[in-house]
Amino acid sequence: MDWLGWFASRHTWLVHLPAAAALMIPLPILAAQRAGRGIRPWWTTCRYLAWAGLAGSALAVASGYLAARHLGLAAPGPLWVPPRHGMAYLFWLHELGGWAALLLGAACLRSLYRDRQEHQGIGIAALLLGLLWAGSALAASYLGPFLLGRTQPPPCLLGPRTPDAPSR
């Protein structure tokens, strides 16, 4: 096995760090909303979690892409065009959740570094982006085990059925 194959096979291990960071980051952001003295340690906690989650998300997206190509799950074509039906549609949803988590993590990290005074809170934009990041990471994590065949996915996650359109 070459190093790309090894890296792709570790996708299920690499998704735990960004998912945990994304699910935990709304709590310190919420704690950093208040204004006053002693708020800077919450800023540091938020930024640390965001950096860890963003780095982990980048690794998870890269390993997921390689794993999908290795296992033949990825449908040919651009990311923004969903496949018609079946496991390729489920993979498209999973991939969309992973990319959304990566982009929302970067946006959340950017909002955590905006200019503010020593006594100001972290901001409502960071809280909203952190909540969206947590939601997208949760959605991608929910869809992952279905792709491995551990359980049967609900029919609504397999895409709309169209009798005349072939599935990819």
Asked whether residue 106 is assigned to any structural domain, the reply reads yes
**Alpha-helix runs per DSSP H in 10-162:** 11-14, 16-24, 26-31, 40-71, 87-112, 124-147
pTM of the complete model = 0.81
Return the axis-axis angle of helices 40-71 and 16-24, rounded to nearest 10°. Answer: 150
**What's the pLDDT at 10?**
76
How many separate domains does the chain show? 1
Instruction: Tell me whether residue 167 is in a domain.
Output: no
Look at residue 168 and tell me if it is in a domain.
no
Residues 6 or more apart whose Cβ sits within 8 Å of residue 84 = 159, 160, 162, 165, 166, 167, 168
* pLDDT, tens digit (0-9, with 9 covering 90-100), for 26-49: 999 998 888 777 778 888 899 999
Residue 58 is assigned to a structural domain of this protein:
yes
| Residue 41 belongs to domain spanning | 3-158
In the numeric block, the tokens 């498209």 are attached to 92
Is residue 49 a part of any domain in this protein?
Answer: yes
In terms of pLDDT, which residue wins out, 95 or 157? 95
Distance (Å, rounded) from C-alpha 24 to C-alpha 69? 31
The Cα–Cα gap between 13 and 15 comes to 6
Round to whole Å and give the CA distance between 113 and 100.
Answer: 20
CA gap 57, 61 in Å, rounded = 6
39 assigned to some structural domain: yes
Q: What is the pLDDT of residues 71-113, one digit of tens each?
A: 776 666 666 666 677 777 888 888 889 999 999 999 999 999 9
Q: What is the overall mean pLDDT for the chain?
A: 82
Q: Give domain status of residue 165, yes or no.
A: no
| Among the listed residues 56, 53, 63, the one whose alpha carbon sits nearest the alpha carbon of residue 108 | 53
Domain assignment present for residue 163? The answer is no
Mean pLDDT calculated for residue range 121-135: 91
The yes-or-no verdict on residue 145 having pLDDT over 70 is: yes
pLDDT at residue 140 tops 70: yes
